[in-house]
Amino acid sequence: MRSSRSLRGLSVLILTSLLIIGTRATVSAAGCSSVDFRVASTLDFTRQPNFPFFGQTTADLNSDGKPDLILTDGENSISVLLNNGGGLFGETKRYAVGNRPSQIAVADFNTDGHLDLAIANSESNHISILINTGAGQFASATNLSVDRRQGTIAVADFNNDTKSDLVTAYASGAGVNVFLGNGAGGFSLASGSPFIAGTSTSAITTADFNSDNKPDVLLADQTGVHLLLGDGTGALSAASQVYPNASYALSSSDVNNDGKPDLVIGSSQLVIRLGDGAGGFSTAATFAHAGGGIVFSVGVADIDGDGHQDVAAAVGSGVTFFKGNGIGTFSQTPSYLPALEPRRVSIADLDGDGDQDLVSGSSLLLNAGSGVFDGVRAVYPSSSGLAASPREVASGDFNADGRTDIAVL
């Protein structure tokens, strides 16, 4: 959502994050559950043009039980907004990091009980580490030098020492680095890094794909999806390609209920490969979507309430809903749900009726039961004066009232 104004010839872009608070579910005359939202607060950020927010996440940074907001921006900084409760956030605190921060990882890197931040900077050769000094305040960033620009980042314990480590992938070119944490906020490059894999990685995730209790790494790029097995010391195996086509979204959810992580891939289609628990995968099964274009984002949950995992995929100008049957296959005639500016999809019970609802872009889709949706609704009204072109959506109980709220960026 953007608006701009001119000030002495300087174009200033105001990016507004709209927080929408859910009220109690009501019942309409037709007997269908509905949910009302009100604008609780508007979060303004002034910054240079042409630099969208690249990353957004929530975490309880000051240990008060409320999720706070962390965002990366185009001014070579991150913004932290502490949750005051009641849907209100405190003053924006900015912390300098590297050039064009892209993704955020959150963990307790110095084992003091407070969550710290690691930032992948897509246009500078370092990762920024920000240590939480308590109460959600951060010390100045310590820059961890890397060989190339890093575009994606994730956290896992790669050497089984109970301390949080980092894995990053190149923003341009082929390479994956593992950084071992020392439990005091410091990191060292794992032996063998960089491991050659990926080309301008678009998504990264970790899971134990071969059941050896050691985290492995999965990444997506324009050449496909690649798996690197961890050996428990911080080293990764040579990459094996597990899907050969350009990919943009990943999930390692268990879609066939066997307790083993599977591959849910967003490409030109939805792609499923079932994990065998030994690092292998079944033949790829593909499921066409109705929205056109590529799959930008995938969400996995039991949407129709039958005990099986389903998939919601943000595509084209809407969301495609694939019903799962519990054995790893999905409907070949998925439902298509129009939505506004769908680039991410979030799944939560938004109206408190026990069914999983969808938020994608600026659209709210309420589940009337069994995965049947009663039409698309605007998450916020056009009369608010805010443009309906959000880039990210997150859900959580921001005002601690037991109801799911929505943050739209």
pLDDT at 298: 84
Q: What is the DSSP string of 312-368?
A: EEEETTEEEEEPB-SSS-B-SS-EEEE-SS-S-EEEE-SSSSSSPEEEETTEEEEE-
What are the tens digits of pLDDT across the range 333-361?
788 887 766 666 777 665 668 888 776 65
- Would you state the structure tokens that stand for residue 313, as one six-digit string? 């995929």
Count other C-beta atoms under 10 Å from residue 203's C-beta.
23
Sign of CA dihedral 110, 114, 115, 120: negative
pLDDT at 389 over 60: no
Q: What is the DSSP string of 285-309?
A: EEE--SS-S-EEEEEEE--SSSSS-
Residue 8 CA to residue 29 CA, distance in Å, equals: 55
Residues present in the chain in total: 409
pLDDT at 89 over 90: no
Q: What is the pTM of this model?
A: 0.72
pLDDT at 61 over 70: yes
pLDDT at 181 over 60: yes
Q: Between residues 88 and 197, which one has the greater pLDDT?
A: 197
What are the tens digits of pLDDT across the range 290-348?
777 899 888 898 999 999 999 989 887 788 989 999 999 998 878 888 776 666 677 76
Q: Pick the closest to residue 215 from 203, 224, 202, 228 (CA basis).
A: 228
Residue 240 CA to residue 72 CA, distance in Å, equals: 32
pLDDT band at 234 (very low <50, low <70, confident <90, very high): very high
Q: Pick the closest to residue 397 from 26, 18, 107, 68 (CA basis).
A: 68
Q: Pick the closest to residue 47 from 75, 18, 11, 81 (CA basis).
A: 75
